[in-house]
């Protein structure tokens, strides 16, 4: 049970390749932190520096107030679950889980106690005598977690633990990790490239790109107030629709003019624009697919589009549409909103009109892609 503090942490390979720039983060005790970002963003490297598996090129890592830069992984009070599980192939499940305890020279009966308890929690008791290769992916994952659990460490590190599982199993294991976390009551650092995992698991999410932190915040914060265009596009699926447009100010009210439509910025976003007194001009507008709605034909605030692809997802439809100038937009329409005739009419090439409300708009600086409504630091 411990806090983790990273101060100006840097990772440089071969003198000039910088993998992580100046990483600062305070992780509170018992917090579940998720590092998320596309591959090569430095999230795994950062985790491995916390683990002690990579040298730290600059800055300090503190666990529980102690600088651990020069400590071996085993002395840092951490446990780790690896992407490919890293189970010792020549040892049984029992021996795998017991390995670290044996190295600590713990008495065998105590080891037995701990291993069987962990196995029970994870539901792998009946596999204890098996070798890893005789287990399924999900079972291996549980063993890997069990091995980390028995170490009773201060910090629990997980490096893309679910990415080798199939989609269904992944959802199941995700739920189990949430339960595990409630049971263990320890600090978690979890690395993933999957924004859904990040959103569902994390107390706070650290979104990274090219070695820089893009945003740190709770799932709600990063979803509702993405600090920049990258975060906005990365979080949420399908990804946010981006439109280059003009921000107009008429009689103290703001309007946007995507693809010839003129839509008033009302609601909270309008109020914020006014409060910040944002200047009119070029702007990058973002709207999430689920916030776009179908509109009356020919309405002034509607954009004329052509339906290109219609994906029936069950509870909702994903409509891929093209505007007149060829920009692609995606709409998520709940199936329940469409009556049966309308649903059958949704064939390719159909002309549609779409619009969205002011309160769901996101505004990004056309030049530096930052969210104009969020204070940058």
Partner 1 sequence: MSTNNASMKKHMGLKASRVVSNTVIYVILIAMSVIWLIPFVCIVLQSFRVENTWQVGYILPKQWGWDNYAALLKTDFKVWYLNTFIMALVVSVLQTMIVLCMSYTLSRFRFKLRQPLMKLMLVLGMFPGMLTMIILYRVLKDLGMTQANAVPGLILVYIASSGMGYYVSKGFFDTISKSLDEAARVDGATRLQILFKIILPLSKPIVIYTILTAFMGPWGDFVFARYISFGTSAGMNVAVGLNGWLSLDQIDQRYTMFCAGGVIVAIPVAVLFMCLQKYYVEGVTGGAVKG
What does the binding site for partner 1 look like in residue numbers (CB under 8 A)?
51-53, 72-74, 78-80, 82-84, 86-90, 99-100, 103-104, 147, 151
CB-nearer residue toward partner 1: 69 or 83: 83
CA–CA distance, 215 with 226 (Å, rounded to integer): 8
Buried b (16+ CB within 10 A) or exposed e, 217-252: bebebbbeebbbbbbbebbbeeebbbbebebbbeee
CB-nearer residue toward partner 1: 10 or 131: 131
Compute the least distance from the CB of residue 99 to partner 1, in Å: 5
CB-nearer residue toward partner 1: 44 or 371: 44
State the CB neighbour count (10 A cutoff) for residue 212: 16
Which residue, 360, 342, 126, is CA-closest to 225? 360
Helix axis angle for 93-103 and 108-122, nearest 10°, is 130
CB-nearer residue toward partner 1: 99 or 212: 99
CB-nearer residue toward partner 1: 53 or 225: 53
CB-nearer residue toward partner 1: 52 or 258: 52
- What distances in angstroms separate CA 136 from CA 94, 178, 243, one per listed residue? 16, 21, 45
**CB-based contacts of 17, cutoff 8 Å, min separation 6:** none
Written as six digits, the tokens of 73 are 């992984």
Compute the least distance from the CB of residue 44 to partner 1, in Å: 11
Written as six digits, the tokens of 194 are 């999957």
CB-nearer residue toward partner 1: 52 or 270: 52
Compute the least distance from the CB of residue 210 to partner 1, in Å: 24
| Phi and psi angles of residue 237, each rounded to the nearest 5 degrees, phi first | -140, 140
Compute the least distance from the CB of residue 295 to partner 1, in Å: 53
CA–CA distance, 295 with 319 (Å, rounded to integer): 14
Compute the least distance from the CB of residue 91 to partner 1, in Å: 8
Compute the least distance from the CB of residue 88 to partner 1, in Å: 6
Compute the least distance from the CB of residue 36 to partner 1, in Å: 21
């Amino acid at each position: 049970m411990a806090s983790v503090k990273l101060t100006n942490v840097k990772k440089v390979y071969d003198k000039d390749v910088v993998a992580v720039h100046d990483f600062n983060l305070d992780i509170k005790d018992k917090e579940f932190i998720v590092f998320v970002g596309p591959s090569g963003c430095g999230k795994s490297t950062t985790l491995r520096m916390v683990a002690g598996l990579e040298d730290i090129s600059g800055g300090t890592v503190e666990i529980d107030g102690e600088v651990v830069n020069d400590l071996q992984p085993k002395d840092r009070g951490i446990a780790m679950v690896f992407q490919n599980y890293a189970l010792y192939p020549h040892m049984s499940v029992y021996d795998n889980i017991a390995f670290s305890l044996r190295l600590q020279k713990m008495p065998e009966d105590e080891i037995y106690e701990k291993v069987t308890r962990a196995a029970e929690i994870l539901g792998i008791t009946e596999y204890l005598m098996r070798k890893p290769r005789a287990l399924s992916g999900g079972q291996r994952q549980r063993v890997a977690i069990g091995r980390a659990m028995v170490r009773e460490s201060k910090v629990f590190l997980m490096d893309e633990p679910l990415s080798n599982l199939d989609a269904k199993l992944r959802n199941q294991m995700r739920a189990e990790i949430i339960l595990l976390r409630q049971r263990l009551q320890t600090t978690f650092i979890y690395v993933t490239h999957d924004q859904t995992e990040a959103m569902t698991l994390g107390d706070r999410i650290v979104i990274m790109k090219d070695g820089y932190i893009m945003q740190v915040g709770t799932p709600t914060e990063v979803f509702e107030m993405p600090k920049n265009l990258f975060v906005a596009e990365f979080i949420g699926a399908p990804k946010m629709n981006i439109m280059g447009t003009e921000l107009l100010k008429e009689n103290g009210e703001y309007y946007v003019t995507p693809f010839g439509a003129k839509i008033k910025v009302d609601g909270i976003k309008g109020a914020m624009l006014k409060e910040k007194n944002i200047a009119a001009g070029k702007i990058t507008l973002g709207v999430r697919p689920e916030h776009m709605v179908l509109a009356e034909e020919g309405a002034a605030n509607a954009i004329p589009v052509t339906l290109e692809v219609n994906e029936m997802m069950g509870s909702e439809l994903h409509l891929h549409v093209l505007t007149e100038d060829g920009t692609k937009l995606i709409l998520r329409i709940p199936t329940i909103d469409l009556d049966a005739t309308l649903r059958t009419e949704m064939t390719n090439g159909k002309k549609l009109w779409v619009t969205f409300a002011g309160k769901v708009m996101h505004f990004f600086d056309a030049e530096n892609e930052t969210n104009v409504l969020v204070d940058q630091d």
